[in-house]
Amino acid sequence: MHIPIWFWMAIIVLLTWGIAGLFQKLATNHLSAESTTVCLVIGFFLLCPWLYPQESLRTYSARALFLSLLSALLNALGAWAMLKAMRHGGKASIVVPFTALYPIVTVFLSPAVLHEPVSMLQAAGVVCGLIAVVLLST
């Protein structure tokens, strides 16, 4: 059986972000959300030599670079807000799973922005995710 590479990458996300949530809570017990966000950015920079492609940025279109930077800004804002939530008393066991529901926003926006249909099964998954948040927060 051939398992596609995207699946292995998704497993890495699951594990690294799951563990990162614990470290983020521990960090915000001692640092402000702003300081923890700066450390997060430094972590990204430390990975750049291994992750950054060897091509020049000039090989990419201005639109592609703009979308990438917009994505990075939204990612940083979301990370800061999650850290702020934990710094101000949010339990990692609630904040991390709740914020991990961000794909729900993508699912709802995908038909309009990306012209991707949303199936009934995907809609049911969104409902299950929302139910999970209610159960986790009680």
H/E segment holding residue 26? helix 5-28
How buried is residue 122: exposed, middle or buried, by Cβ count under 10 Å (0-12/13-18/19+)?
middle
Structural domain boundaries of the chain?
5-100
pTM above 0.85, yes or no: no
Mean pLDDT by 10 residues, the chain (138 residues): 87 87 91 92 85 76 88 91 93 86 85 91 88 80
The per-residue pLDDT for 129 is 84
The per-residue pLDDT for 14 is 84
Q: Are 71 and 113 in contact (CB under 8 A)?
A: no
Cα gap 71→65, rounded to integer Å:
10
Structure-derived torsion over alpha carbons of residues 57, 59, 61, 67, reported in degrees to the nearest 10: -40
